[in-house]
Structure formats: C-alpha cells, structure tokens
C-alpha cells in the first residue's frame, strides 16, 4: 500500500494534479474540499454547517473533516493506496490521520508539497471564480482569507511531516504536465526508498 498527501496552499493545483494521479496510479481519492461541497449540494446538516466557514474562507472545524475521512477510509477496505487532497490542513488533523492509518496497519509514505507564489495563487483562484460557480473563489477578500488561514493553521502541517521525514517540495509553477512529471519522479523515488 502507498499513501500520498498532496499538500499546498489554496489554488496550488492539488485538485488538478489529483485527477491525473488517480488515473495513473489507481489511488482512492479523498478530497475534503470535494466531500464538503457534495454535502453542501445535498443540503445535509453537515453541509449547512460547513458552508458557514467555507464562505468566509475559513477552515471547517477539525471534528467534521476527521469524521468524514474516518468513514471514507472504512468504506474502502481493499484500497491499494489513498491520495489525500486538501487533508490534513491542521496539526490536529495530521495526528488524527496517523492514528486512523495505524489502525489499518499503514501510514503516510509521501507528502508532496506544491510551492506556488502568492500572486499566482490569487490569479488562479480569481480566474477559476469566473466560471466555477464556487462562492469561495468569487471574491478577492475571501480568497485572501483562505491564503491567510493557510499560513495561520496549515503551514504547521509541513513541520509535522518534515519531522516524520516524508515531506518533499516541488515547484508548482509551469505546465500541468511538467508538474505531473515531477510528482511521478517523487513517487517513484519514495516507492524505491520504502
Ligand atoms: P479545496 O477544495 O481543498 O480547494 P483549494 O485548496 O482551493 O484548491 P486546489 O489546490 O485543489 O486548487 P486547484 O487544483 O483546483 O478547499 C476548499 C475549502 O474547503 C477550504 O477553503 C476550506 O474551507 C474547506 N476545507 C477543505 N478541506 C478542509 C480540511 N481538511 N479542513 C478544514 N477545512 C477544509 O487549482 C486552482 C486553479 O488553478 C484551477 O483553476 C486550476 O485550473 C488552476 N491551475 C492548476 N494548476 C495550474 C498550473 N500548473 N498552471 C496554471 N493554472 C493552474
């Protein structure tokens, strides 16, 4: 089993690269952003609660996303590997994920961090906001709040995995294919190291 976290600020290309990675490697894709948007679309109580935070560019409370990931892990008992996209986003989520994976006698093998300058993030997200219909991409204030929330709460996740020895950075600027090529190289060297 090989478990990968795709890490990086909002708009760094996690969702974009995830699509390519699951096609190539057959990972089970767990995107907390997508799971939350599906709950919002179905107007479930969880979705209505999550929306209050997402519309302001804030992170959804840890217990909500950890519960979602826990039940998704349980619903894929025979998985060859998981790709976590946008999770964990706080140190508390990272600790919880380690515990959940330990129960399944596995762990995280690689954390690939996409590094993109802030002005490029803003440009990409506001550009997506023109067509995506995503309320959290539509206003510059909300997009900036998401980036601030990343620095405030998510950057510490990088320290957690640096200590664990699994954290690797790659340049997240350039063509989508170029970045995918770098990710493939990282996965291949981590698989050989493991
Ligand atoms: P997410 O859905 O995770 O989305 P994201 O961080 O905004 O985007 P991502 O990095 O996936 O960007 P993408 O590839 O799409 O989170 C949304 C919200 O959900 C959060 O703000 C939070 O409120 C909540 N949430 C989610 N997970 C949570 C958690 N664990 N805990 C608490 N709250 C949570 O790329 C963006 C744009 O860039 C696209 O338009 C794409 O086409 C473009 N792009 C991608 N690669 C490019 C490249 N190489 N060059 C040019 N453009 C590129």
Is the model's pLDDT at 64 over the cut of 70?
Answer: yes
Give yes or no for residue 176 CB within 6 A of ligand 1: yes
- pLDDT tens-digit map of 148-169: 999 999 999 999 999 999 999 9
* Residue 69 CB coordination number (10 Å): 20
Confidence of residue 186 (pLDDT cuts 50, 70, 90): very high
| Catalytic residue (choose from 20, 104, 123, 128) | 128
Tens-place pLDDT, residues 82-117? 999 999 999 999 999 999 999 999 999 999 999 999
20 labelled catalytic = no
Ligand 1 binding pocket includes 30 (Cβ within 6 Å): no
51, 124, 146, 168: the catalytic one is: 146
Q: Is 124 in the pocket of ligand 1 (CB under 6 A)?
A: yes
Does 51 contact ligand 1 (Cβ within 6 A)?
A: no
pLDDT of residue 115: 98
pTM (two decimals):
0.94
Task: Read off the pLDDT band of 133 (50, 70, 90).
Answer: confident
């Amino acid at each position: 089993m090989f478990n990968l976290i795709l890490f990086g600020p909002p708009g760094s290309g996690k969702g974009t690269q995830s699509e390519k990675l699951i096609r190539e490697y057959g990972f089970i894709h767990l995107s907390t952003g997508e799971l939350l948007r599906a709950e919002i679309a179905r107007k479930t109580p969880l979705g209505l609660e999550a929306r209050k935070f997402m519309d302001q560019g804030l992170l959804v409370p840890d217990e909500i996303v950890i519960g979602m990931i826990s039940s998704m892990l349980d619903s894929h008992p025979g998985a060859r590997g998981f790709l976590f996209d946008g999770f964990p986003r706080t140190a508390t989520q990272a600790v919880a994920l380690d515990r959940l994976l330990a129960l399944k006698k596995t762990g995280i093998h690689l954390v690939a961090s996409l590094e993109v300058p802030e002005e490029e993030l803003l440009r990409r997200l506001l550009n997506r906001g023109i067509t995506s219909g995503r309320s959290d991409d539509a206003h510059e204030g909300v997009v900036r709040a998401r980036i601030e929330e990343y620095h405030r709460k998510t950057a510490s996740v990088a320290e957690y995995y640096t200590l664990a020895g699994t954290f690797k950075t790659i340049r997240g600027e350039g063509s989508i294919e170029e970045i995918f090529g770098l990710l493939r190289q990282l996965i291949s060297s981590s698989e050989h190291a493991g």
